[in-house]
Amino acid sequence: MENIIWTWLELNNGELSESSMEILGEARKLGNTLKGQIHAFLLGEYADEAAAKAAIYGADVIYIATDSIFRTYCPEACLAAFAQQVSRPPRIVMISGTRNGASLAPRIAARFQWGYLANVVKVAPQEDGGLKINTETFQAKVNNTYTFSARQTVVLVLQPGSIGVGKADKKRTGEVRPLEPLADMTNHIEITGFIKADPRSVSLNDAERVVAGGNGFCNQEDLKILQGFADALGAAVGSSKPIADKGWVTYNRLVGQSSGRRLAPNLFVSVGISGATHFIEGMKESPLIISINKDKGAPLMKEADLAVVGDLYEILPEITRQIKAMRGEAEDHGK
């Protein structure tokens, strides 16, 4: 069996999604270790335009299909596209666990009788050609190890936002291979509309911006200051473990390895958090990190792209006021 890694890529408004760029980067790292190729499936109306971007993020071969059925997510059409290349089976299939990715991955495994694992955190090639794969369950309190022989294909699902988007290599090029047009197919999934996610309720894994509070807050009531800042910023609220243990926030807002959640939102702001190792490991891949703390020597201040030294009770209300003023000004200009 050749060391080919398949990835399935998603498009958002005609652009390659962030989760797809993440999974390409992770596949590229593994492909380099295995000395194998990355074959990406890019299925959608603007697939031909996004192929070049897929290449610079790690794809060697990009299979594209622009059939009208791919204007919305259609798992059966995706499986039909994969079937065109199954005569040359991959060693690994890597998919980001987005809403659609988590739906498609087990379908691929079932259709082609391949192995399947979700919540994957590590893939380690072995000397005999096999794979040792680690997954996490029970909020990362249980680590599971699975082994697959060199002759087995396995479909792996990685949590989106837990890896972070790697650097693009603008010198890379890939081979674009159009897939055969699909026979008439019916999409049995009907999309009636979209509801914009509320930052107050969206999962931290799906949030583009996260604001997290810690022991710098004196009491639970003061977290209203944090929520007001997050609302102004359009961000979801997270927390460090100490204030979750106090019962000030629910554990589904917990950031860090102890939560089983590794985040890489576009913006991560920590407020009053020193930064224990398990916390930093859970968010250090975020592209932009801002830390607000009285202690300039706090570990998280050293990790931050912007470290703000001062009293959060003075800084946070003022930043919130300025953000609201700027947004109000922008809205006035737009009228």
Binding positions for FAD are 293
Q: Give the residue ranges of the annotated binding site.
A: 293
Residues in the chain, how many?
335
Tell me if 114 sits within 8 A of 108, measured CB to CB: yes
Helix, strand, or coil (residue 113): coil
Which pairs from 58-62 meet CB under 8 Å and 24+ separation?
A: 58/24, 58/25, 58/27, 58/28, 58/31, 58/166, 58/169, 58/172, 59/7, 59/24, 59/174, 60/31, 60/174, 60/175, 61/37, 61/174, 61/175, 61/177, 62/174, 62/175, 62/176, 62/177
The type of residue at 225 is I
Tell me if 300 sits within 8 A of 210, measured CB to CB: no
Question: In this structure, are strands 288-293 and 267-271 parallel, antiparallel, or unpaired?
Answer: parallel
